[in-house]
Structures are given as structure tokens and as C-alpha cells.
Chains A and B, each alone.
Chain A
Amino acid sequence: MKRSIWQLPRFRRASLSVVARNFLVWRKLLGPAIVLNFGEPVIYLLGLGIGLGALVGDIGGLPYLVFLASGIVASSAMVSVSFEGMYSVYTRMVPQKTFDAIMATPLDIDDIVLGETIWAALKGLLSAVAILLVAALLGAVPGGTGAMWALPVVFLLGLTFAGPAIVMAAIADNYDFFNYYFVLVVTPMFMLSGVFFPLETLPEWMQTAVLVLPLTHAIEVIRPLIVGEPVEHLAAHLAVLAGFALAAYYLAVALVRRRLWD
């Protein structure tokens, strides 16, 4: 009679109705969303890429703006997914009780968490597309249309980061709790995964250590695609991302069940 929170989640099409719900709400708040998605990368790329780039010159044979843009495509997707998975999911799960309402329909928590995961990844994808467009306008996408291949990888990266963010939402008592995750997880990854400088500048032991960070693997694939170079160890990088994504989704489902099941 007791359900186990650890029973394997099932993937069902019904989860797409959760994606649709979030999309319809997002569409109503399109203005601020667009400002955030396009405004921020323009400022980053102009400020750091052009300003700092003038001092730095080339990095790894790439103009700094190109190097930076290809890293920010990935990191900004991570940040955007993390915000959605924590603040927005928490809002729907706890104060707004949207999940409670959905649980009274034929949808299960598996479906809700899968829908939220896909939706968060889509928001990450959107911010990546915005940056790629801005970067292209600034002439910082040497890979041309081939850079589009980075987008499916960004989506996978989004799935990877949605899980841990939803885990945090599932165990949070309030919004302040998310500071831990940002300071302990998001910011170190932002700084150490090769967004701003090449991994080779790190001491050797750190170069090995940062391989546990999923963002490192995402950037190792995304950067060459945007720059128009061959990708090394493609399958291994994608496997790491997919492995993280599946494990985190499973944990997220279990912890949301623990929170919402009586």
C-alpha cells in the first residue's frame, strides 16, 4: 500500500501539458523575458569581450570575444536553467500549490518533474539562442551555420542542470536557501569550467578536478562547434552530460515525491 519514492519514474507524453502550461504563462510575460535574454548577453559581450578583449588579445588562437561568446552560450544556459528549476519550480510547488492542483488530475509527479525539466531546458536553450544571435551580429561566430549544432548540446546541458535545481527546490524551506547552490555550485562552475579562460591555465591537478563539473564537458563540445573546429571526445562528453541528467532527474522525482506525498 505504501509507494516508494524511489520507484523508477516513467516518461509519459502527459508531461508535455506541464511544458505547455509554463509556456503559456511565459508568453504573457514576454517583454521582461526578452529584455533579460538579450540585454544581459549584449552587456557581457560588449563589456568583457571588447573591453577586456583589447587587453587580452587572442586566447588559444581565438579572438577573446569569440572565446568568451562560445563559453557564455553554455554558462548562461546553466544560469537560466538554475533560476527556473529553483525559484520558479519552488513557487509552483510550494506557495502557489500549482503542483497540488495538477496532482488531482491524471498526471503524476513523474510527469510534473519531467515537464518542468524539459521546460527549464527550453528556457536555457532560449537564452543560448539569444546570445548566439548577438554574438553572430558582433561577428563572433566563426563556425557560421554549423554553430547551430551547439543548440542540441545546450538543450542536453539544460536537462543536466534542471535536475539538481529541482532537487534544491524540493528540499528548500524558502527562497534564501538557493543562495547555497548559487555560491557553492553555479558560481564555481561559472569561473572554473573554461568560460572566461582556457582550462590549460589551471594547475594540472585542477584540470583533472574540473572534469567532474558538467559545464566543463558542455563547453568542450559547444566551443568548437561555435568556432568551427572538430570536437574531440564528443561521445564521452555527451555521455557525462546525459549521465548527470538522468541521475539528477531521478533524484529530483524522488525528492519532490517525498515532499508532496502524504
Chain B
Amino acid sequence: MEPEQFEKEVARRSAFIYLPISLGAALLFFLAASLVGGYPPVAKIGGMVWVGLLSLIVSMPIITARVKRQAGTRVGNRQ
């Protein structure tokens, strides 16, 4: 497998993990805001998007690096 293909595969597999995590965090926020009550729908949705975006930014590099490591690209001269 060529390195570019490998990178694509890593990106695809990582997305399967970090997207559900971000989505989960966003839904959790929405759920919490709904349970607490008193928030206008726009605030709940806006907050959900913001939390989802930040969660994506946090989880994306961590998961991608982990998947890559597991796939073995880090094996080698740094062993």
C-alpha cells in the first residue's frame, strides 16, 4: 500500500471514531440544556454546535494519531 493510500485509510478510520465522539458530546450538551430547561432553542442549538465543534477539534488529532500509531507507521526508527 502506498503512503498516500495509507493516510487516506487512517483518516477514514479515525473519522469513524471522532465523529461519533463529537456528536455524542454535542447531544449530551443539548440533552443537559433541555433537562435544565429555560434556554431558548437557538441557544441550545448554538451551544450544541459550538460544543460539537470544539469536541471535534479536540478529538480529531488525538484519535488520528492513535489510529496511525496502531496501524504501525510510527513503528520503525523510533522504536
The answer to whether A and B interact is no
